[in-house]
Amino acid sequence: MSRPPFEVAHLDELERFEGEFTTVPVRIPLGISAFGVNAYESTAAGGPVIEEHDELGAGAGHHEELYLVLRGHARFTVAGEELDAPAGTFVFVRDPAARRGADA
């Protein structure tokens, strides 16, 4: 049986993994392979919301990543540069080697 030409999911219905911050996988359940997309929620204001990483290591997708701040406020660090990201901000990381992370 072939897959449909689209996928639909609501953020609140996706599986969550609790830890230092909450991770909500989006890429794998929707079958996305061209770029990285997941959802993250901070468990505390000022705490981490995206772990510092690049996309080159074992298990990494070796792809570009797009982040969107839906609610609240985040401070990203990408390739050593700090970026202020209030709700509504997209952060696109083109280079898989660029280290990135974010705090709420």
Coil, strand, or helix at residue 38? Answer: strand
pLDDT in tens, 40-99: 888 888 889 999 999 998 878 788 888 889 989 999 999 999 999 999 999 999 999 999
User: Which residues are within 8 A (CB) of 101 and not within 5 positions of it... i.e. 6 or more apart?
Assistant: 48, 50, 51, 52, 53, 76, 77
User: What is the pTM (predicted TM-score) of this model?
Assistant: 0.78
Q: What is the pLDDT of residue 1?
A: 67
Evaluate whether 72 touches 40 at the Cβ level (below 8 Å).
no
Across all residues in the chain, what is the average pLDDT? Answer: 89
**Residues 8-52 pLDDT 10s:** 999 889 999 999 889 999 988 998 888 778 888 888 888 899 999
